[in-house]
Structure formats: C-alpha cells, structure tokens
Chains A and B, each alone.
Chain A
C-alpha cells in the first residue's frame, strides 16, 4: 500500500512545480487526480491554502483584491508595491473581485495576512464601538 503523503509534502511539491514553471493547470490536475484516487477530496481546500502559504514563504504572494468599483492600473500597481514592501515579497499575484456591498475602499486577502480598507468595515467598526452590550 502506498505511503500516505502529508499535506505539507503535497504543498511543497506543488509549489516546486509552479516555481519550476510547470503550468498551473497541469499541476492542479495532477493534484486533483491524486486526491480523487486517494479519497482525500475533502482536503482540497486545506491543501490549496498550504500551497499558498508555502509560496508566500518563498516570497510569492498569491491573494485576492476586493473593491466596490474596478480599480485603475495605477492603483493596482500601488497596492502591489505596498504588499511587496510590507511582506518583503518577490512577486505578488492578486485576483480582482468587484463587490458593491463594500461601498468603497479595498480589501486584500493574502495567506496569513489581510489588508482591509473598505468603508463597510469602517462603518461596522464604528457601529461596534458605539453599540451597547
């Protein structure tokens, strides 16, 4: 019977493959096949998070950028520079999402980090501060 691979091993392998330049599509396909064969599909979310953490540890930040309106390229570049400086990253890759419920501002979700400058969060914070228990 094949030895069970830990999530750490899997995530390390995937990160190595991505850094080596292998297509992300092919790597993810391999991973999915392995998980399916070994009946570990319920761990896929955790493994993806582990891969992101491993890449972040290696200086490759992969995350998501949420805003109420589409941002200009300059603004996105400024955000990317900010992340690079703050987290000492070698490269930053952000997926952009538009969410009108944020009202305004932006939020960046990274492995182990979050930058939240949305108006909705600020209003919620104000509301929580004034709310009586």
Chain B
C-alpha cells in the first residue's frame, strides 16, 4: 500500500489535461479501479456465494417454517373440527344413554311396585287362610273341651244321682237282657 501511495505521489506531474483539470489522478484511478476489480473478484469468488448461500438457506428456513406453521395451523383447525365432532357425538350418546337409563329406571320402578303389590297380596291372602285355619282349630278345640266338660259333669251328676240299690237293679236288668 505504501508503495502504491509513493507511486501515486511521484506521478503527480501536472498535466494540463482533463483529468488534471478535474483533479483526477488517472494513475491512482487505474490502481483503485484495479483494486476495486480485485475486491469485486474476491468478493464474488469467496464472499458473495457464501453470503448468498446463507441468505438462501435462511430464506428456505423461513419458508419452511412458514409452511410448517401453516400446516400446523391447518392441522389444528382440522383437529379442532374433529374434536368438535367427537364432542358432539359424545354429547348425543350421553343424551341417549341418559334417556335410556331414565326409561329403564321407570320400568324397574314399575316392575318393583308390581312385585311388591303381588307379594303383599299373597301375604294378605296367606294371612287370611291362616286366620281361617286358626279359627277352625280354635272352634274344634273349644268343641272338644266342651265335650270333655260335659262328660265330666255327666259323670259327677250320674255318680251322685245313682244309688247302690239303683245300680244293682240296673246291672241285674242288663245281665238279664244279655242272657
């Protein structure tokens, strides 16, 4: 670089041309142009491809991310719709189940009431039968007890009414009849 500056300083002979009028040193200009071209070449050779590659990669990533976001959003929307449908289906099924359960419970209650009523009627009927039997048994017992009392009373009355003489006469008559 110092060499270039020295070369530029030595060559500052005043030329009375256009470049001199404009204050442009054509040698320096050439050198700078060459440096620029070299710079452009180096940039184009090494920096620009890499840079463009990075930019392209970033662009691709951004596009991929945007696409993924779009797809995710679409999937979420689809899922949301699917969930809504499932919930709707589940609600309908739950409502059906509740309705069925209500109907069955009503039927079960009615059936239980019928059975309880039948059982109660049977119990009452059995109780009536048992009461009738008990009454008949009591009547029979009363009859037999009365018979027993009458028999004992008759024995007592007969025993006190019959005398030895009357008994003897009665026996003699009975023996005579059996002869």
Least CB separation from A120: chain B residue: B155
Complex-state Cα separation, A106 to B167, whole angstroms:
9
Complex Cα gap A69–B170 (Å)? 12
| Majority secondary structure, B binding face | helix
Q: Give the interface size class of chain A.
A: 20 to 34
For B176, the chain A residues whose CB sits under 8 A away are 78
Partner of B164, one of A70, A74, A105, A106: A70
Q: B158 touching A71 by the CB < 8 A rule?
A: no
Q: B171 to A131, Cβ gap below 8 A?
A: no
Enumerate chain A residues within 8 angstroms of B172, measured Cβ to Cβ. 72, 74-75, 78
Say yes or no: is B178 at the interface (Cβ < 8 Å to chain A).
yes
Q: Report yes or no: B154 in contact with A75, Cβ–Cβ below 8 A.
A: no
Q: How far is the CA of A128 from the CA of B144 in the complex (A)?
A: 10
Q: Which of B147, B151, B171, B176 is most buried by chain A, counting CB atoms within 10 A of its CB?
A: B171
A117 adjacent to B155 (CB under 8 Å): no
Residues B82-138 near A (CB distance < 8 A): none
Total residue contacts A-B, CB cutoff 8 A: 67
Residues of B with C-beta under 8 A to A78: 172, 175-176, 179
Contacts of A130 in B (CB 8 A): 147
Shortest C-beta distance, A119 to chain B (Å), equals 6
Contacting pair B154 A104 (CB below 8 A):
no
By size class, the interface of chain B is 20 to 34
B114 to chain A, nearest CB (A): 42
Would you call B158 and A103 a contact (CB within 8 A)? yes
Asked whether, in the complex, the Cβ of A123 is within 8 Å of the Cβ of B154, the reply is: yes
Q: Which residue of A lies closest to B163 (CB)?
A: A69
Pick the contact of A132: B140, B148, B159, B179 (CB < 8 A): B140
- Does B155 contact A85, Cβ atoms closer than 8 Å? no
Residues of A within 8 A of B162 (CB): 68-69, 103-104, 119
The 8 closest A-B pairs by CB, nearest first: A69-B164, A78-B175, A127-B151, A104-B162, A104-B167, A103-B159, A75-B172, A132-B140
Give B contacts to A, CB under 8 Å.
140, 143-144, 147-148, 151, 154-155, 158-159, 162-164, 167-168, 170-172, 174-176, 178-179
25 CB < 8 A contacts A-B: A67-B167, A67-B171, A69-B168, A74-B172, A75-B171, A75-B172, A75-B175, A78-B176, A79-B171, A79-B175, A81-B179, A82-B179, A103-B155, A103-B158, A104-B158, A104-B162, A104-B167, A105-B170, A117-B174, A119-B158, A123-B158, A124-B151, A127-B148, A131-B144, A132-B144
